[in-house]
Structures are given as structure tokens and as C-alpha cells.
Amino acid sequence: MLTRFDIKEIVYGNLNLPVIDVRTPAEFEKGHIPGAVNIPLFTNEERAHVGTVYKQQSKEKAIELGYKYVNPKLNDYIEQSKKAAPKKKAIVHCWRGGMRSQSFADHLNKNGFNTGIIEGGYKAFRRVVLDDFPDNLNLKVLGGYTGSGKTPVLLKMKEQGHQVLDLEGIANHKGSAFGSIGCKPQPTPEQFENNLFWEFKELDCSKPIWLEDESSNIGHVAIQRKLFLQMREANLFFLDIPKEQRAKHLIDDYDVEHLEPLANAINRISKRLGGEKTKKALEYLENHDFFNVAILCLDYYDKYYYKGMMKRDSEKIIIVKHQSVDLDKIIKSLV
């Protein structure tokens, strides 16, 4: 008899067992439980073929085809599972806790493992992600024009023991046309939600949580609506730092060795930057005059950010003035 775990035991409990996701690589890539290991029962193509046979012929024929695909890989499943769960204890799941996870877990248990399955599978996890996102958070939002060092400030605050949620780090994007430069590929929108929820569940939501001011989208992922609405209602600590100092900080922050990604980003904002400024920015870039490239781009981003800030309640905007991007001084003034 397989042990069946409620999803909340996995999310909020202290089981500390490896989680094996037996769905296809495509399903796993779209979204998975953070930390889970993918050992697919079927490849993407095999899963599609089994599904077609199920619809066009019968359940029995689909199961028969499934065994033909699975049987040659039984030993490999054991070897991969040993790597994922060296102590031979694990939790297995598929989409709904059905035949895929039950068959896989039975196979492991017959080969010396102690394995259970998640009741409701990954679908149950997604329900928790969407339903359990916390309300009434004690948020402190750090804002400021582009180049103010908001992310480095937050990361250093986290090192010092403050509760910090690094939205751009979770999104693998710096939140502008230049935001993907130097970053790993972004997660899918669904996986971003999963990762964001997973970070939040480790925080004490009654205590202050610092995070960066963002628009509703960071690259191609969207901030969970319940969180975004709370961010818009929270106090905004706005870093007011001279443009020249911010331009210098941007040069240090971005990879200026490779010009093509920078040129592509400038071209993406060309309509709003204007033809003449775009042309100048590209000329400065070609001449490796990164300071003036930054100054021109900041003209656009400062106006864009100011417009967004004006939509906030002015009584909730706290201006924090500094003459340079000095992380220690900024943090001291914030806390």
C-alpha cells in the first residue's frame, strides 16, 4: 500500500524528502515544485503517442503502448532514483497523482525504496500556490530611478539578516529593455509563480519584508496579482541619487564588453527614446563612451519611472537622498 501525502505536508511540513517528478520534460519545464528532480516516465513524444492511442483506440491499448515504452527503461529509473534519493526514501508525483506516479512508486518500492506519492499530484501544488498566497503583508518597497543600486542594497540587507524578496533574482531579469543582459534564461510564467511562492513560505509575513519596486511584469513573467496590489499600497522608499552617479553605477553593473546586446536594447526603446537620441546613443556605444550612453538612456527611464510613481499615494512616498551609490550609507538611512 503506497503512502499518500497531502500536498500541504510537502509544502509546509518538515518531511525533507527528495521529490521526484515523473511527468514529461515539457511538463516539468513549464512548471514544477521547486527542488523537485525530473525523472520522466515518458519522453514528450512518447506521452503524446500514448495520449493519441487513448483517444483514438482505447484505454487498454494506451496502457499496452505505455508498457512498451517503459519496460526497457526500468533499470534506468532505478539508477536515476538512487542519484536523486541516495537514502532510497522519496516522494513521487505526476500531474494528478494517477497511474504514472503510482506505477513509478510501486516499481521503486519493489526495488528497495520507501516511496510515497502526492495526493492530487502537481495539480494540487498549483492550487496551493494560487490559493495560499499571503494577504496583509508587511511590505517595504525600495524604489528609485534606474541605476540607484536598489538590487545591491537589498542583497546586502539580506546578508545583514533583513527579510528580503529579490524579485529580479527570481525572475532572472533586471526589469528593463536591458534587463536580460548577463542573466540566465527566465523561468516560465508558471514557474516564476511557483518560485515566488516558495520564497514567501519561508518568510515571517508579520515582520517587514523588503523588495524592489517593479511594474507588474519583469521581462516576460508577471508578479502575482495579490502581491502586486499590496506592493502598490505599501510605503515606497525612493532613492534620490544624482543622474551622473547612477550612470557610473550602471557601467559597473552591466557587461560592457559585448556591445551587440546593448545595441539591441537601445534599439528596443528607440521609439520612446527618439530617433536623434537613439542615433547618438549608438554612436556613443560604438566609441565605447558608456557614460553618455547611460545618460541618454536614463533620460527615458527617469521619465518613465516618474510617471509610474505619480500614480501612487504621495503620502506613502518617502524620499531618501544620497549623493552616490554607497550601499552602507543607504542601508543605514533605510533601517
Residues with a known catalytic role = 94
Report the run of H or E that residue 102 belongs to, with start and end: helix 99-109
- How far is the C-alpha of 41 from the C-alpha of 76, rounded, in Å? 10
Nearest to 91 by CA among 199, 14, 16: 16
Residue 92 CB contacts under 8 Å (≥ 6 apart), including other chains:
19, 20, 22, 101, 104, 105, 108, 115, 116, 117, 118
28: Cβ contacts below 8 Å, ≥ 6 apart:
21, 36, 38, 40
**Sign of the CA dihedral with 132 first, then 134, 135, and 141 last:** negative
Q: Using CA atoms, how far apart are residues 325 and 250, in angstroms rounded to an integer?
A: 10
**Residues of 50-69 as b/e, b for ≥16 C-beta within 10 angstroms?**
beebbeeeeeeebeebbeeb
How far apart CA 143 and CA 213 sit, in angstroms, is 5
CB 140 within 8 A of CB 237: yes
